[in-house]
Amino acid sequence: MNLINDPWLQLGWRDGREGPGRLVDVVDPDVVALLAPRADFRGAMYQWMLGVLQLAFQLEHEEDWQDMWFIPPDKAQLQARLAPWAEFFELAGDGPRFMQDLVPGDDFGLKDIRDLLIDQGSNSNLHFNKPDTINGLCPCCAAQALYCLQQNAPSGGVGHRVSMRGGGPLTTLLEPQLEAGAQPSLWQRLWLNVLPLDQLLQPGGDLAGLEDQRPARILPWVAPTRTSEKNTGSPTGPVDAHPLQAYWGMPRRIRLVWESARPGTCDLCGAQTETLLTQYRTKNYGVEYQAWEHPLTPYYHDPKNKTLPLSAKGQKGGIGYRHWLGLTLGRSDRQPAPARLMHYYLNTRAYEFMRIGAPLEARVWVFGFDCDNMKARSWYDATLPVLHVLPERLAGVQADVGSLLEVAHEAARQLHTAVKGAWCDRPKDMNDEPAVPQSLWAATENLFYQQLRQLAADDSPATRAAVFKTWLAGIRATALRLFEDWSVGEYEKGWDIKRLVDARQRLERELLFAKPMKQLHTYIKQQEVTT
């Protein structure tokens, strides 16, 4: 199966049809969706298609990107661009195999095909976590599982390397929002996330690093694996590969076993196949990536620059507005800084559209695993709005949004403390109840985005004071209401009414006088005196 030429993708059309298609079908304006049997596969396949488009076009200027946004290539033009790379995207055969070790040895161990799935062995409640029922995969699902694992690989034991971005990284992609709610085509969904080559340069890199276009520097399965044994191997840094390898990282040494394939039904997608894959071979000490920054992932940066940036990961509680600043505009302390894609879009691409009188709106799609070493605890998948802020106003908006978030963090913490205080005499001995603080974040999300839009539109002192006042009042009212929801109605269980009243009074006090709240109250009072 050739991933460039064969109809192995599952696509959705504007009229509601679903079915197989080839990569060149993405330029059809009536193709609007890329489908997959699992949520993590869907995220991986969008990244796979972006990687292929980055390979095919390798843009030098933003103007070249704009030309193909307004007038996409036709299928013949795209096929011509893809042709030089097609030979490297065979899933089986005697030559290089997609995302697989070029020269496997006799010491490769045999594993069940289900072990390609990141949630294999997890006892989480992932909605697609049923690994015991997966004994065979069709070639299409095997290819998706292979790429998904290589892009997101968590810890896998001694020498089984994590992905280029670390285990379970978050990915951020842009989704175009067209006028009048029109549905964007798949080409538009993908092309908005394609970057000029110079934006893929790694920190400290230079344009000379883009000139060496040998396939083995871009696609690691084309050459013998750069292994990473303690004494004979070495890490792979940005100087050791082309920047495009960011889309094709291959930390795991894997080889699909076709000899044992048989006719059957795929346990993921239900397709009938003559080659149901049930096993693969693997060996540790594959590629060990160091010092790479993936263009689609936010990173935390050490303020003293003594340690390498750390990719943002999925965390308990899911993705919500408390993450908005770091994922879009970025925090001034770079904790985290947004993905390079997001930074480029907000600071260059969006302004180019404004300049030509065709403003472009977008949302950010955020997804990724929450991993605990080898185990996948949760899968997170969310979309958040993207707001444009003029460069001269960026620092002020970052600070103001940061203040709103600090208030919410403190209120959620105080709510959690108060509810535990209402529940028992020794709340510090209780386990945390994550649902309590999370309930405040969920209940105030709409209010946050309302205030955010006001700050983005007008940063005058009067508007800032009004926003702060509305936010403080909304957070306070919500926290007190949620306290009642979590505690009232439990008297019949022998709970202490005095304990409950004391806990509420402490909560009321902290919602007024905790440091983040006091800072905003001070600003509001100053503005009232001034006016």
* pTM listed for this prediction: 0.93
Cβ atoms of 172 and 296 closer than 8 Å:
yes
How many residues does the structure list for the chain? 531
Per-residue confidence (pLDDT) for residue 491, from 0 to 100: 46
d(CA 49, CA 146): 14
Letter string b/e over residues 415-446, b meaning 16 or more CB atoms within 10 A of that residue's CB: bbbbbbbbbeeebeeeeeeeebbbbbbbbbbe
pLDDT confidence of residue 121: 62
Q: How many CA atoms lie within 13 A of 289 on its CB side?
A: 31
What is the tens place of the pLDDT at every residue in 66-88? 999 999 999 999 999 999 999 99
Task: Quote the pLDDT of residue 173.
Answer: 98
State whether residue 326 is helix, strand or coil. Answer: helix
Is 54:194 a contact under the CB 8 Å cutoff? yes
Cα–Cα distance, 1 to 7 (Å, whole number): 9
How close are the terminal C-alpha atoms of the chain, in Å? Answer: 71
Return the pLDDT at 231. Answer: 85
| Per-residue pLDDT tens digits for 508-518 | 999 999 999 99
Residue where the block lists tokens 């013998």: 224
Give the relative orientation of helices 497-513 and 461-487 as an angle to the nearest 10 degrees.
Answer: 170
- What is the rounded CA–CA span in Å between residue 206 and residue 496? 67
pLDDT in tens, 450-491: 999 999 888 899 999 999 999 999 999 999 999 999 987 654
Tell me, what's the pLDDT at 351?
86
User: Are residues 189 and 175 in contact, defined by beta-carbon separation less than 8 angstroms?
Assistant: yes
Q: Does 179 score more than 50 pLDDT?
A: yes
Using one digit for the tens of pLDDT, what is the confidence trace for 132-142? 689 999 999 99
Distance between CA atoms of residues 194 and 186, nearest Å: 13
Rounded CA-CA distance 252/260 in Å is 21
- Cβ contact 367:170 at 8 Å: yes
| Sign of the dihedral through C-alpha 439, 443, 446, 447 | negative
Give the Cα-Cα-Cα angle 259, 265, 267 (nearest 5 degrees): 100
- The answer to whether residue 441 scores a pLDDT higher than 90 is yes
Measured between alpha carbons, how far is 26 from 187 in angstroms, rounded to an integer? 5
Residue range 348-354: mean pLDDT, rounded:
87
State percent of the chain over pLDDT 70.
Answer: 96
Cα 172 from chain centroid (whole Å): 4
pLDDT value at position 512? 95
Phi-psi domain of 314 (left: phi exceeds 0; alpha: psi -120 through 50; beta: other): beta
Model pLDDT for residues 242-291, shown as the tens digit of each residue? 999 999 999 999 999 999 999 999 999 999 999 999 999 999 999 999 99
* Mean local confidence (pLDDT), 504-530: 94
Tokens standing for residue 87: 């030979």
Q: Please give the Cα distance from 352 to 331 (Å, whole number).
A: 24
pLDDT band at 127 (very low <50, low <70, confident <90, very high): low
Counting residues of the chain whose pLDDT is more than 90, the rounded percentage is 74
Q: What is the rounded average pLDDT of the residues 305-314?
A: 90
Q: Which residue has the higher pLDDT, 489 or 500?
A: 500
Give the number of other Cβ atoms within 10 Å of residue 124's Cβ: 16
Specify the DSSP element, H or E, that contains 13. strand 9-13
Contact 436, 418 (CB under 8 A): no
CA separation for the pair 33, 485 (Å, rounded): 41
What own/partner pairs with CB < 8 Å and gap ≥ 24 does 230-237 have?
A: 233/285, 233/288, 234/288, 235/288, 235/289, 235/290, 236/287, 236/288, 236/289, 236/290, 237/289, 237/290, 237/291, 237/292
Higher pLDDT, 125 or 527: 527
What pLDDT shows up at residue 492?
45
- Residue 490 is predicted with a pLDDT of 53
Residues with Cβ < 8 Å from 367, sequence gap 6 or more? 39, 40, 43, 170, 171, 379, 380, 381, 382
Query: Residue 36's pLDDT is what?
Result: 97
Task: Provide the angle, in degrees to the nearest 10, between the axes of the packed helices 394-423 and 445-457.
Answer: 160
Sign, CA torsion 22/26/32/33: positive
Report the mean per-residue pLDDT for the chain: 92
H-type helices in 243-368, by residue range?
A: 324-327, 340-344, 350-355
Residue 25 has pLDDT above 90, yes or no: yes
Output the pLDDT for position 138.
Answer: 97
For residue 401, what pLDDT band results from cuts at 50, 70 and 90? very high
